[in-house]
Structure 1
């Protein structure tokens, strides 16, 4: 019976899979095999095991890590003047570089045994997050050596000799690293890289040495202009077959000192008005000894695999940390400004249009901080979730863009006029940089998240695709014959679950124990996990390799997977915090917004599905009633906005880690005015009862004359009025562009 099944069912199906499913290139296979699947696989199982996520608990810092945040990180933030760095000097001052090196900010991830700090991913993330609330430029400068770069690659793949030499020097800043991957011709498509090396013998330290003659042109290389050691990716060839029979050996990664003969370090790029060091470099006929390959000769040709593994972890920390810091800073300062800035006698945060924007800012900060904490918690456990890291990079930077845009609108002229008092403008300028680097968001959203996620997270598909690469092999037939029954029952269960939950709007979906009133949201995530899994099966079976070219369909399904992940993290964070009742408006707003987006994307998939009948069928089976979840109501939005405009544990919890400024700078002035305005609200209410609605010295004097307030209360209001007046001011400059003596 088994032989007959293989002959008449399995073998023909194997050939059909070969024809229908997209072929996997070598670089695609290495990208998919790099990193691991984690909660993303549960979300594409149709029935997530919530204990796997909730059982992890919240991230926790060691005493040493917390002391570093409270000590050197706080001290660094107090030293920084972002206006001077970004606009006056266009570079980081020498004393800041010295401090970063002395305190080992470049050795956060390097083990203590090699002279580094040896901190956890969660600590790494918190450090970058806090610095970024003070200076994007310095945040990037600290971020890069600790994410994708020579340090991480050496730790994972270097020889002991390479580790012993370079890691201590990287940790204390004797070596400044950069990594050269992007070239003008290739960009995000590393397979099109033209930078190349040829295996040969050359002279090194006066001796004939096996190595490579390498030529390259790299650009957009962060820290490139100041780097002393260059991590270099290039395609290696062996036309003389010195290393073996193979001529094209693949992408290889080597460490090249920037003072090596033939290396040219170019002048700086100026990325979007940002002052961090970034620039091009070239190499012409540079002889690179084989011992400079990271990991030595045995890692020749394994560079792409090494890079993808590093990116699977680093991309989940670097830009999400910057984005989370920016979003939390926007929430803290915009809520305060909306409270102290008055129009028509009331705070602008009381206007409903402004309140909706404040709620969006609060919701984004809550979701990004939740997802950031959950992702770094997974990294603490040693996981390297590649798809999750791509989700975090794309959606964290996009979330930052939306929250900063809303913050700019609410601050209006305060955020438009440049100067030391403007704490929003430079973050606004930095957003396009974050959006486009480490994999441009358009590419990540359209091709990577669902394109890799659907295959990697599926319990059987990747193995089936590998088996189909050689449909005539007995091994492939054996693999598919073993997987087919399992895949079939997986489809049956997925179909039943998705249809049941779709027609009952998730009424019979399960939820974990002990989650209280949040149970309804767990049920909805279970519902849409089943729906996404079924739609994925339909899409892969009907479109096959064509799905690769249907980028908008792939992007929308990727958005659904991403929202499921972000909302899962939000529920986890709410539970980790003890399910505080005061935080419930944030949870309600975030969950409703995300679930509504899931429904929108699925309906767009059904409407635009290439096979119209299948699109209508999926709609009928999984969402027969159309939209079932509305965005947050106006009442819920007001509740979120109010959380940003009054002192509370919730506000402090949401914006924890934001540097609140040095005395007299923009953030500090708004924060101090906010404290005074909130503290004197009861006195203001006395004036308003007497018909006095404005806050200025004349109005306060009128209040005394009418016996509405005491002289002591009047003095408190005068201090408040002065604080508000300082906080809402903008900078002005003389005609030569130097700062005026008065703000």
Structure 2
């Protein structure tokens, strides 16, 4: 019993991060009172205490030997900096910053609702005319340069609408590259360059494109035979859009002879190149451009690399909007299609499976829309941008592909071949996204001074003890004693528990081999993404407590914690010494898979047209083209709803043995013969049935 109390008190010390001297005093006093310890114990204990408490001895006898070992073995032992994690004070002190949702101006709203709506009936090979007709190239160019002067957020709303209605990937690539090019000119261009190029772009006299490259290529400055400044670019210009007339590239300007740069010989800069210059250059040769082709003046004082990162952020944000638009389109299609399918003999098991899949699509829409709104309502620094890009690259693209395959699976009729083709295009586009690596901030301890390493290791050991003890206690109690406010109480406690456990695993991953660390890191990043997405959803609900979406927040939190649990189990599976603990951690998971009850609640909610329109931001299929599958679906569903009373009458007759349940067409014939329905009603049902049947065959 004494040993049990001893362990419990030590765990309390670790839970509250008491200083080392209190630990040592407690161990000494408790040992004297309760244990019969000998002289060897006190020799070891006093020696250990001296090493722990005396800074100089610790540094000379522990830190310096560790450093020598690390340097001689070329091991970069990295310790992660304090990753912010949620604790008991997070929700009580309102640590989460509220954000004001970004709104469109009246002019932007009018453009979106009126001008853009009229553009969607067009042939695929005419999309360039389609873009030009409504000055979409001028969208984000200021009015002083003949542009529309709209915000980038308005573009995201427009491209979302494109994705809802049509195949929009080519359109987005052209527009986002043009918008990013305009931003470069506005940020770095000289007054002369802005006044010359921006109006031409706004009026579609020039189509401009910014080419992203994974790493900047080199451009070396030299003088030609005429003593004119030239730049030789070490890049092969193959992947540009065939409609572009101008191209912007970012490159590292290398000036070893200081012909341009005075204080340095390498800076990142931009060049604007006429497409004819590229076409007239042999593809095997490096392209040579004039000094005047550089945008603005090369300067190492301007942070071009951060700016390029922000342009990548805009590109990823546009992809997120494409995913939102396409998934809303998928949701409306599937909702209509499955409503029609209910009339057929679909088993209860199949219905539950379909409901589960639709619930995932609804939650993806809600989560993605809030993520986009959040990132466009806060100040963005490099770390924010890196993390947002990572979430798009891995988390959103992975989950979008999941719901894309759900769509393909549910829309099993040949009538939907064009829709499926569009969805497959999105999947392929998502697969080709630049998967830039993301890593947690860390320091390499072998590259620091002894004092810094000493303090870093102290913090590392202290935080590891604290986090592991907290994780263990939260696991045993399911975070029962964590104090949070009432709103979404269970989810907040879970978030603190998950966050604590995540940081403990992150600290532990520092001790793993490079190969195993890489495998674990991918799973930790996925957990980290979910933690922040769940934080965002919980905060959104707190800011809008009268929201109709609390049940959806419950679903997302339950689903998110379930996904985190799976990743945690995968981590334990990858570490041989931890595999033995797998049955233990499965006994008390963060969450189970969302049950049928909450899935059915979501389905019931979206069956209401107003609710579905609210989730889909009132995006609706166009009614003025009766050749589209959307029109056929809408018409069939309308006819089915008009026959609802007749269906109920037939079901009542079957229940009371007046009719025998057979194939639907035979059943309604029987109903007509037995007088359950009139001849006119039979014709109405038969017509609606054939309309539905046309969609399923």
User: TM-score, structure 1 length as denominator?
Assistant: 0.73
- Aligned pairs for 1:621-660 (under 5 A) are 623=585, 625-644=587-606, 646-660=607-621
Q: Residues 373-427 of structure 1, C-alpha deviation per residue, up to 9 Å, x if partnerless?
A: 33333223342522122212322222222112111111113366x4xxx433322
Is the contact made by 1:363 and 1:586 (CA closer than 8 Å) also made in structure 2?
no
Structure 1 counterpart of 2:242: 225
Deviation of 1:132 (Å): 0.6
Judged with a 3 Å threshold, the aligned counterparts in structure 2 of structure 1 residues 402 and 504 are, in CA distance, closer, same or farther, namely same
- Aligned pairs for 1:401-440 (under 5 A) are 401-414=401-414, 418=417, 422-437=418-433, 439-440=434-435
| Unaligned stretches of 5+ residues in structure 1 | 25-31, 86-90, 183-187, 265-280, 456-460, 730-743
- Are positions 1:214 and 2:233 aligned together? yes
CA RMSD of aligned residues (A): 4.2
Is the contact made by 2:334 and 2:410 (CA closer than 8 Å) also made in structure 1?
yes
Deviation of 1:332 (Å): 1.2
Structure 2 counterpart of 1:98: 132
Judged with a 3 Å threshold, the aligned counterparts in structure 2 of structure 1 residues 163 and 244 are, in CA distance, closer, same or farther, namely closer
- Are positions 1:130 and 2:161 aligned together? yes
Distance in 1, matches of 2:399 and 2:243, equals 31
Judged with a 3 Å threshold, the aligned counterparts in structure 2 of structure 1 residues 561 and 3 are, in CA distance, closer, same or farther, namely closer
Decide which of 513, 527, 530 is 1:560's aligned counterpart.
527
Judged with a 3 Å threshold, the aligned counterparts in structure 2 of structure 1 residues 539 and 233 are, in CA distance, closer, same or farther, namely same
- Are positions 1:372 and 2:369 aligned together? yes
Deviation of 1:653 (Å): 2.4
- Are positions 1:288 and 2:289 aligned together? yes
Structure 2 counterpart of 1:523: 493
Decide which of 243, 266, 272 is 1:255's aligned counterpart.
272
Decide which of 501, 504, 522 is 2:477's aligned counterpart.
504
- Aligned pairs for 1:100-499 (under 5 A) are 103-137=134-168, 140-141=171-172, 144-145=175-176, 149-182=180-213, 188=214, 190=215, 195-202=217-224, 209-221=228-240, 224-243=241-260, 249=266, 252-260=269-277, 282=283, 284-298=285-299, 304-311=305-312, 313-341=313-341, 345-346=344-345, 348=346, 351-384=348-381, 385=384, 386-414=386-414, 418=417, 422-437=418-433, 439-440=434-435, 444=436, 447-448=437-438, 451=439, 454-455=440-441, 461=442, 464-465=443-444, 469=447, 471=448, 491=464, 493-499=466-472
Deviation of 1:299 (Å): 5.1
Is the contact made by 1:122 and 1:380 (CA closer than 8 Å) also made in structure 2?
no
Distance in 1, matches of 2:159 and 2:295, equals 27
Q: Residues 610-647 of structure 1, C-alpha deviation per residue, up to 9 Å, x if partnerless?
A: xx44x469979x95845342101233333334445x23
Deviation of 1:199 (Å): 0.7
- Are positions 1:606 and 2:583 aligned together? no
- Aligned pairs for 1:12-91 (under 5 A) are 20-21=75-76, 42-43=84-85, 51=94, 53=96, 55-77=98-120, 79-80=121-122, 84-85=123-124, 91=125
Q: How many equivalent pairs are there?
A: 631
Structure 2 counterpart of 1:276: none
Is the contact made by 1:214 and 1:283 (CA closer than 8 Å) also made in structure 2?
no
Judged with a 3 Å threshold, the aligned counterparts in structure 2 of structure 1 residues 305 and 390 are, in CA distance, closer, same or farther, namely same
Q: Residues 482-505 of structure 1, C-alpha deviation per residue, up to 9 Å, x if partnerless?
A: 877766665565445433323322
Decide which of 686, 689, 695 is 2:652's aligned counterpart.
689
| Unaligned stretches of 5+ residues in structure 2 | 1-52
Distance in 2, matches of 1:650 and 1:408, equals 24
2:168 is paired with a residue whose SS is helix
Deviation of 1:339 (Å): 1.2
Structure 2 counterpart of 1:676: 639
Distance in 2, matches of 1:147 and 1:390, equals 23
1:226 is paired with a residue whose SS is coil
